[in-house]
Structure 1
Amino acid sequence: MKHYIYDTLDSELISELRKDGRATISYLAETLKVSRATIQNRLDRLISSGAILGFTIRIHEALDQGTIKAIMLIELSGQSTSQVIRKMRGIPELVKLHTTNGAWDLVAEIHTTTLSEFDEVLRKVREVDGILNSETSLLLSSL
């Protein structure tokens, strides 16, 4: 990520884009009370600096009901964090990977479409050198 000093307007712009990644420049300018040119310039800088990596969609949970979701807590051995992260990024069903504090070193979010696929992901993760222990919980419903 390129060096760029982020200010309140950048934070507000990112916040609006998190709500609606398809918001128009006109809408963002009106909402944030700045000119369209200012929004366009800020957006261009946020993208070119690497602060904004891309735009995505969020789907309604009703459309995502067939997805098996889980959280995996992972304990690593020694100094293997970078190596484990590299290997785990190669598993597409691990949709997010987080570092954390406490007894566990990493938290992985898993999304699969079948239980056999889920089982395969667990097998792949267990084969990664540097993982000492893991605990996985299926996410049954969102409240």
Structure 2
Amino acid sequence: MDDLDQRLIAKLRADARASVAELALALKVSRGTITNRMARLERDGIISGYTLRLRPDAARDEIRAWASIAVEGNQQKVIRTLLGEPGIAALHDTNGRWDLLAELRVDNLIQLSATLERIRAVPGISATETSIHLQSYRG
């Protein structure tokens, strides 16, 4: 995946209902380029489907977790790669022991495991630590 793929995925994560024309305009490429990129990303399994976002309290069966991530080397390249990961709902820059904090949202533990494996395989990630979200006391 190149930079355009990463930017396209980021736009789709923000609005999966965006039209091809809107995406092309935002990314400054032709509609044909967007259509071809989306078809390839779907065919290669990078995009496995399109979804909607619910309020956190409306998604009762969803597994949420937080992955703390340590980065060695080019953090911006790691960030671009992680923004294309379908299991990552939000990605935050932080300070302290960890460089990034990823909010993970998946349907089951198998998907959580697969998401964590993909995250750990990203070049430049040197360590991760994950905590599963059990309950919120204040929204």
What TM-score bracket applies, with the shorter chain setting the length? 0.5 to 0.7
Tell me, in whole angstroms, the C-alpha distance in 2 between the residues paired with 1:91 and 1:71: 14
Q: Which has the larger radius of gyration?
A: 1
1:70 to 62, 65, 77: 65
Structure 1 partner of 2:76: 82
Task: Flag the 1:60–1:136 CA change in 2: closer, same or farther, 3 A.
Answer: closer
- SS at 1:121 equivalent: helix
Matches within 5 A, 1:114-129: 114-129=108-123
For 1:139, the aligned partner's letter is H
Instruction: Please report how far the alpha carbon of residue 60 of structure 1 lies from its aligned counterpart in structure 2 after TM superposition.
Output: 6.0
For 2:61, the aligned partner's letter is G
1:139 to 109, 124, 133: 133
Instruction: Please report how far the alpha carbon of residue 58 of structure 1 lies from its aligned counterpart in structure 2 after TM superposition.
Output: 5.3
Alignment of 1:108 onto 2:102:
yes
Percent identity between matched residues is: 35
Matches within 5 A, 1:25-104: 59=55, 61=57, 63-78=58-73, 80-104=74-98
Unaligned runs of 5+ in 2: 1-51
Tell me, in whole angstroms, the C-alpha distance in 1 between the residues paired with 2:121 and 2:56: 34
Question: 1:76-102 CA distances to partner (integer Å, 9 max, x unpaired)?
Answer: 003x10110111111111010000011
Tell me, in whole angstroms, the C-alpha distance in 2 between the residues paired with 1:87 and 1:136: 19
Tell me, in whole angstroms, the C-alpha distance in 1 between the residues paired with 2:122 and 2:85: 11
CA RMSD of aligned residues (A): 1.6
- TM-score, length-normalised on structure 2? 0.58
